[in-house]
Amino acid sequence: MGDDQADATRRAGTKSCGQPTRATVRDTYDRIATHFAATREYAWPEVETFVDETAGETHTVGLDLGCGNCRHAELLYGADLETVVGVDVSRGLLETGRERGRERSFAVELCQADATTLPLTEDSIDLAVYVATLHHLPSETARRASLDELARVLDPDGRALVSAWSTAHDRFDATESFDTTIEWTLPGSETVDRFYHIYAPEDFERDLEASDLALLEWELSSGNCYATVVSPE
């Protein structure tokens, strides 16, 4: 990270960081799972729009990749899909999703797995949301592998929405992609560092185009990059 970019990171209230392991990322979210899930009540408007505009009679199996507390799995269930699968690397977050499903009476099949190695068969998913998770994978190799895995499991007629945090967010002054950590404050004022890869928009587009996915369109909204993708023909 160059000096100018490091200065921008500090001005944003974040910290430059070494590259953590995926196990470290998993352990971080296991540690903060209950408190984190309590702050994630509602589906994002961009995800609601995608599901409303995309879900149809031919879509029967949905995937919430990086499901957390299943707020977006609940949205997929409400779109009358026959089956909704929620995948997350954090067992703690999956437990919050299981509890949400019980409390709100929606069905979701939960699975603990890494986004780079999904335990799903090829062409098995009709509609997927991969939201606010890609940027937590700590290496370019892992991020690309997760996009390729999404392409592998997505049905040829299926669609997916992919999102990541962007340098376009007004929290950041940097214009190039960078790695950082951002503190999560638990009750009692204990802080836990969370890893992020903050995408420059052009790098987000580049990673998608370099993956096995086919990019239909992408946009910036609320400081995040959103892309609609399909499996290549």
The 10s digit of each residue's pLDDT in 213-230 is 999 999 999 999 999 999
pLDDT of residue 174: 95
Count of beta carbons in the 10 Å neighbourhood of residue 138:
21
Other CB atoms closer than 10 Å to residue 91's CB: what's the count?
13
Mapping DSSP to helix (H, G, I), strand (E, B) and coil, where does residue 226 land? strand
2 pLDDT more than 80: no
Please give the mean pLDDT across all residues of the chain.
Answer: 92
pLDDT at site 4:
38
Is the pLDDT at 6 greater than 90? The verdict is no
Residue scoring higher pLDDT (197 or 5): 197
In this predicted model, what pLDDT tens digit does every residue of 15-68 receive, in sequence order? Answer: 556 678 989 999 999 999 999 999 999 999 999 999 999 998 788 999 999 999
What is the pLDDT, as a whole number, of residue 156? 95
pLDDT for residue 19: 77
Residue range of the domain that includes 45: 3-109+116-169+178-230
User: In terms of pLDDT, which residue wins out, 201 or 1?
Assistant: 201
Q: Which CATH number does the domain housing residue 187 bear? A: 3.40.50.150
- Say what the pLDDT of residue 18 is: 65
Q: Which token pair is 225?
A: 């990059």
pLDDT of residue 17: 60
How far is residue 74 from each of residues 68, 70, 211, 226, measured CA to CA in Å?
Answer: 11, 6, 28, 20
Segment 84-113 mean pLDDT:
98
The C-alpha atoms of residue 6 and residue 4 are separated, in whole angstroms, by 5
pTM of the model: 0.92
pLDDT in tens, 117-154: 999 999 999 999 999 999 999 999 999 999 999 999 99
Output the 3-class SS for 59-82. Answer: CCEEEEECCCCCHHHHHHHCCCCC
Identify the burial level of 9 via C-beta atoms within 10 angstroms of its C-beta, where 0-12 means exposed, 13-18 middle and 19 or more buried. buried
* Tally of structural domains, the chain: 1
Q: At 12, is the pLDDT very low, low, confident or very high (cuts 50, 70, 90)?
A: very low
